[in-house]
Amino acid sequence: MAKPAELASTKELIEKYIRRNGVPSIWCPGCGIGTVVGSMLRAIDHLRLRQEDVVIVTGIGCSGLIYNYLRFDGFHGTHGRALAIATGIKAANPRLHVVVPMGDGDCAAIGGNHFIHAARRNIDLTAIVINNQIYGMTGGQSSPTTVQQSRTSTAPRGHLERPFDVCELAKGAGATYIARGVTSNPIQLADLLERAMAHKGFSVVEVLSQCPVQAGRRAGRSEPWEMLQWLKGVTVSAKRGTDDVSLGKFITGELLKEDAPEWTEEYDKLIAIAGGRS
Partner 1 sequence: MTSSMPVLIEIDFDWCKACGICVNICPRKVLAEASDGSPEIIDARRCTRCLLCELICPDFAIRVGREK
Find the shortest distance in angstroms from Cβ 108 to partner 1.
23
DSSP state of 248: T
Q: What does the DSSP 8-state code read for residue 101?
A: E
Distance, in Å, from the CA atom of 142 to the CA atom of 218, rounded to the nearest integer, reads 12
User: How would you classify the pairing of strands 235-237 and 250-257?
Assistant: parallel
Among 33, 66, 102, 255, binds partner 1 (CB under 8 A): 33
In the complex, minimum distance from the CB of residue 3 to partner 1, in angstroms, rounded to a whole number: 9
182 binds partner 1 (CB under 8 A): no
* Among the listed residues 196, 145, 158, 272, the one whose alpha carbon sits nearest the alpha carbon of residue 36: 196
Q: Which is nearer to partner 1, 42 or 180 (CB)?
A: 42
Three-state SS string over 125-160 comes to EEEEEEECCCECCCCCECCCCCCCCCCECCECCCCC
Q: From the list 223, 234, 250, 256, which residue makes contact with partner 1 (rule: CB under 8 A)?
A: 223
Residue 48, interface with partner 1 (CB under 8 A)?
no
Contact 253, 188 (CB under 8 A): yes
Q: How far is the CB of 7 from partner 1 (least distance, A)?
A: 7
Closest distance of CB 131 from partner 1, Å: 16
**Min CB(37)–partner 1 separation in Å:** 8
In angstroms, the CA 191 to CA 177 distance is 13
Check: CB of residue 267 under 8 Å from CB of residue 122.
no
Regarding 68 and contact with partner 1 (CB under 8 A), the answer is no
Is residue 187 within the footprint of partner 1 (CB under 8 A)?
yes
Residues 5-24 that bind partner 1 (CB under 8 A): 5, 7, 9-11, 13-14, 18, 23-24
Q: Under the rule (CB under 8 A), what is the footprint of partner 1?
A: 4-5, 7, 9-11, 13-14, 18, 23-25, 27-35, 37-39, 42, 183-184, 186-187, 190, 212, 223-225, 228
